[in-house]
Amino acid sequence: MPNTLDHSYVQKSSWKPNLFAGKVVFITGGAGSICRVQAEALVLLGANAAIIGRNVEKTEAAAKEIASLRPGAKVIGIGAVDVRKIQSLKEAVDKTVQELGRIDYVIAGAAGNFLSDFNHLSSNAFKSVIDIDLLGSFNTIKVTFDQLRKNKGSVIFVSATLHYYGVPMQTHVGAAKAGVDALCNALAVELGPLGIRLNCIAPGAIAGTEGMSRLAPPGGEPLEKKIPLQRQGTTTDIADATVYLFSPAASYVTGDVLVVDGGMWQVGGLMGDFYPNIIIHQNEDPEGKL
């Protein structure tokens, strides 16, 4: 699998080995390209992990591969979990605590995305993304709350920059991620007195990920030219942001959104060269979806 980490991450990174020794992270969407590398970084730095996903085979295989990164690591894969169904998630939490003893960190990373203009975006498709991204994030914190309170834990929501400005073809995801940011803000205030920190990471164009393979517009100028830092991001960039937010270095950081996109959203994001032609082309078919 491309863009995964190995032992060199510990040797080359700025982070102290065994930074997360004795800690346990619970990750929804943990077999996906971004969340998997978040898990790898935490395990390489001493944590144990529960990888949560819908696909049983993919989730269990990812857990075994991540566990192999560090001698003695305990990583369990729990498949057949739908974040829209809170009982499904609760059972995953119970299994995690039973097998790993505790939960200190939570990454709410389960998400759905695809390109669709408004006219061809059905109400059901819109609802599905809202349910997975926003309701799924709420459910994830709801079922891990007791452990987070007990262990004065920390949460990272995987957000996006799509709601910072109008992004065509992403109505559903922009609305969902705006909700995720608002959820993070409110919970950071409400749960802060209990010792729980909650933050968001908003990735930009991360090379080699499932998201980029689906969402990158075809043709045109090389994407790197549109990014102020003149390169696409890497999953290691997201891993480092994750380590920072869970580490003691961020002990006074909560309710924040850490954008990791090389400055891309500041200059119009992915769709600038294709607007408005892409919308006109999509709507040449007048029949929409309900």
Q: Which residues carry out catalysis?
A: 159, 177
Helices (H), 192-228: 210-215
Tokens of 6: 């190995």
The residues pairing with 108 across neighbouring beta strands, listed in sequence order, are 28, 157
The residues pairing with 48 across neighbouring beta strands, listed in sequence order, are 24
| 176: three-class secondary structure by DSSP | helix
**36 exposure class (CB count in 10 Å sphere: 0-12, 13-18, 19+):** buried
Helices (H), the chain: 8-12, 33-44, 56-67, 86-100, 123-130, 136-151, 171-191, 210-215, 235-246, 277-282
> How far does CA 55 lie from the centroid of its chain?
17
Are residues 256 and 237 in contact, defined by beta-carbon separation less than 8 angstroms?
no
